[in-house]
Amino acid sequence: MIADDPTMMRLMAAAQRGDKHAYRALLDECRKWLLRYYARRVPPHQMDDLVQDTLLSLHNKRASYDPGRPFLPWLAAIARYRWVDHLRRHYRADETQLDGDYPSFSEEPGVTARISLDHLMLHLPPGQAEVIALVKIEGLSIAEAAGKSGQSESLVKVNIHRGLKRLAAMVEQS
Amino acid sequence: MIKTRLATPSRERQSAADFLDDLAQDLQPVRPIKPAYAWALTALAALAVVGLSVLVLGARHDVATGQPEPFLMLANGLLLMLALACSLAVISMARPQIGNSYQGPGWALGMAAILPASGIGLTLLHDSPPLGMLWVESGLVCLATSAALSVIVSVPLIWWLRRGAPARPGLAGWLTGLAAGSYGVFAFALHCSHADMMHIGIWHSLAVITCGAIGRICVPPMIRW
């Protein structure tokens, strides 16, 4: 059974004040709610990733919740946004995916990009740099990267998210 | 096989629990975003744009003497309503809610559409050459200057959207462009030497729509999250 809206409003208001216990309880309730929300919207194998993405968005955008208003319509708006974004990325990836290997005329741009990237990665904590390299550069799955790095799958996702955010900030600054 | 079946859900449960624990550990207190900040900054930017137009470019004679032409007041009143309606929608979009409706800008846009409709109608009905269309040079100056002024007002609106969680980036882009464009044209009209139906109906309206289209193209990539 999922908590009612007034309970979630109270938990979220407490979370905005920094109450970690209330936030943990709220995240549990949100996860249950999201699993139900996405059940008919995405294939089962994509569900876990989408729920975690949505919870990360909730975490990052928690200041946009107005404690005087109902909680579930806010959560539903975030869930819907993440779902649409997920569909867009999914179909775009399908459209742009190439079937075979194609010859490259020059390796120079790739090498230069790799050198710049390696330089930027030096500024990241080792845990974040490692999983970004494994997943985003070498193309391993989250599960494979977790096995190779010794981090849990959820930590791999969190580290990739934080690392990419920090890289983006560094690129913007430079 | 049975072992695997039992092991998989428990591993997933553990993984999800870890993830939630990580998020909870990462929690820092936050202040809910306050629309009053956005309103204050937008109002300041709008005042700055009006000040720039009147003080730097110079006010029209009738505006400077405190006796603006009635049609200019009517047209600028409609633009101000459009600007306020779009600003209200943009500012509320940063705090998403399923069930929010943004009908205000539609009605305001409908009211403001009287201006281009009248301008085009008059131009087509006149036997004489379409004067509004002939002032292309001054019209383009109006368009470009208004768009440049509108950039100033778009800054606090985009900043606000980036702080929040706009769930409809495309619509937010349109409305940001329309709001900023309306403020920009409002301000530039206080300087513009033309205050007739054809010029305002065609060129000033075109400037607002152009800013809306620019907003639709440029704003969404800046506010996606």
Helices (H), ranges, chain A? 5-16, 20-38, 44-60, 72-96, 108-121, 126-132, 142-149, 153-173
CB-based contact (8 Å) between B22 and chain A? Answer: yes
Q: Which residue has the higher pLDDT, B35 or A174?
A: B35
Q: Which residue has the higher pLDDT, B127 or A162?
A: A162
User: For every one of its 174 residues, what pLDDT tens digit does chain A have, with 9 covering 90 and above?
Assistant: 667 888 999 999 999 999 999 999 999 999 999 999 998 888 888 888 899 999 999 999 999 999 999 999 999 999 999 998 888 887 766 555 554 444 444 444 454 455 556 667 777 888 888 888 888 777 888 888 888 888 888 888 888 888 888 877 776 554
User: Residue A150, by phi and psi: left (phi above 0), alpha (psi -120 to 50) or beta?
Assistant: left
Per-residue pLDDT, averaged over B66-94, amounts to 92
Q: Which residue has the higher pLDDT, B209 or A141?
A: B209
Is the pLDDT assigned to residue B22 strictly greater than 70?
yes
CB-based contact (8 Å) between B40 and chain A? Answer: no
Candidates A45, A75, A81, partner chain B, best to mutate (most B CBs within 10 A): A81
- Distance between CA atoms of B208 and B180, rounded to whole angstroms? 8
| Cα angle B53, B59, B62; round to 5 | 145
| Dihedral angle sign, alpha carbons of residues B45, B49, B54, B59 | negative
Token reading at B137: 């040079």
Give the pLDDT score at B136. Answer: 77
B167 to A12, A46, B101, B162: CA distances (angstroms): 19, 21, 12, 11
- The helix/strand/coil state of A61 is coil
Question: Closest Cα of chain B to A101: distance in Å?
Answer: 31
- Yes or no, beta carbons of B32 and A158 under 8 Å apart: no
How far from chain centre, in Å, is Cα A151? 16
Under 8 Å between Cβ of A55 and A34: yes
Split at pLDDT 50, 70, 90, the class of B181 is: very high
- Yes or no, beta carbons of A18 and B29 under 8 Å apart: yes
- Yes or no, beta carbons of A154 and B18 under 8 Å apart: yes
Question: Closest Cα of chain A to B165: distance in Å?
Answer: 6
Split at pLDDT 50, 70, 90, the class of B32 is: very high
A128 contacts on B by Cβ (under 8 Å): none
pTM listed for this prediction: 0.72
Is the pLDDT assigned to residue B44 strictly greater than 80?
yes
Give the pLDDT score at A112. Answer: 47
Give the pLDDT score at A97. Answer: 53
- Yes or no, beta carbons of B28 and A18 under 8 Å apart: yes
Give the Cβ contact number of residue B72 at 10 Å.
Answer: 19
Give the pLDDT score at A166. Answer: 80
A78 contacts on B by Cβ (under 8 Å): 96, 165, 167
Half-sphere exposure of B132 (CA within 13 A, CB side): 24
- Distance between CA atoms of A86 and B112, rounded to whole angstroms? 37
- Distance between CA atoms of A32 and B97, rounded to whole angstroms? 19
DSSP character at residue B123: H
Mean confidence (pLDDT) of chain B:
86
Enter the ipTM: 0.78
Is the pLDDT assigned to residue B186 strictly greater than 50?
yes
A88-123: b (≥16 Cβ within 10 Å) or e: eeeeeeeeeeeeeeeeeeeeeeeeeeeeeeeebbee
Under 8 Å between Cβ of A27 and A38: no
Helices (H), ranges, chain B? 2-25, 35-51, 61-64, 70-93, 104-112, 114-125, 131-134, 136-163, 169-189, 197-199, 205-223
